[in-house]
Amino acid sequence: MKELEYFLADEAATIAIGAGLAQVLKSTAVQQALVVYLNGDLGAGKTTLTRGFVRGMGHQGNVKSPTYTLVEPYELANWRIFHFDLYRLADPEELEYMGIRDYFNDDCCCFIEWPEKGTGLLAKADIIINIAYQDEQRIIKLQAESTHGEQVMTALAD
């Protein structure tokens, strides 16, 4: 599955997509890094989707937006998740200082809001997600950018 599109009627539907991605990763025998780029205007639901993913992966506490910290890490039993929000990134070099390259490992899932701010320093996306306003609701489009991304999306659509 290279492209998927869903209508998201409410916040719960946005969370469910994130939780669905978590379900797919957890049920796959081979652990493989997943890099997701999240595009969409402020308030579209990028953090909400990531919250669904992080909780779905088993994190029980808060999932707050890394607006000021740039990255929020979650250490789980078998996985590490890094949730980036690069909106306030002034200089891509800051990512070098953060040791960005160490974040892209096989036991890591990276969900990245505003990825265009880190062009050249981020791992390639497996899946690019676009969330757009549709009046008060949302439309989400997922696009596979790698074989792994395609496998994950095929399982998600099942």
CB closer to ligand ADP, 13 vs 35: 13
Q: How far is the CB of 32 from Mg ion (least distance, A)?
A: 25
Q: Which does 8 bind (CB under 5 to 8 A by kind): ligand ADP, Mg ion, none?
A: ligand ADP
CB closer to Mg ion, 1 vs 128: 128
* Rg of the chain taking only CA atoms, in angstroms: 14
**What number of chain residues touch Mg ion (CB under 5 A)?**
4
CA distance 66 to 1: 30
* H helical segments located in 27-86: 46-56
- Interface residue list for ligand ADP (CB under 6 A): 8, 10-11, 13-14, 40, 42-48, 65, 113, 136-138
Q: How far is the CB of 29 from ligand ADP (least distance, A)?
A: 31
The reply on whether position 14 binds Mg ion by CB under 5 A is no
3-class secondary structure, 21: helix
Cβ–Cβ under 8 Å, residues 12 and 137: no
Token pair, residue 117, equals 């701010």
Token pair, residue 62, equals 């808060």
The reply on whether position 46 binds Mg ion by CB under 5 A is yes
CA distance 112 to 28: 22
CB closer to ligand ADP, 46 vs 55: 46
Q: Which does 44 bind (CB under 5 to 8 A by kind): ligand ADP, Mg ion, none?
A: ligand ADP
Q: Which does 55 bind (CB under 5 to 8 A by kind): ligand ADP, Mg ion, none?
A: none
Q: Which of 77, 98, 2, 102 is nearest to 85 (CA)?
A: 98
Q: What separation in angstroms does the CA of 114 have from each of 9, 103, 145?
A: 23, 17, 17
Q: Choose, by CB under 5 A, the member of 17, 47, 79, 138 that binds Mg ion.
A: 47
Name the site residues for Mg ion (rule: CB under 5 A).
46-47, 65, 113
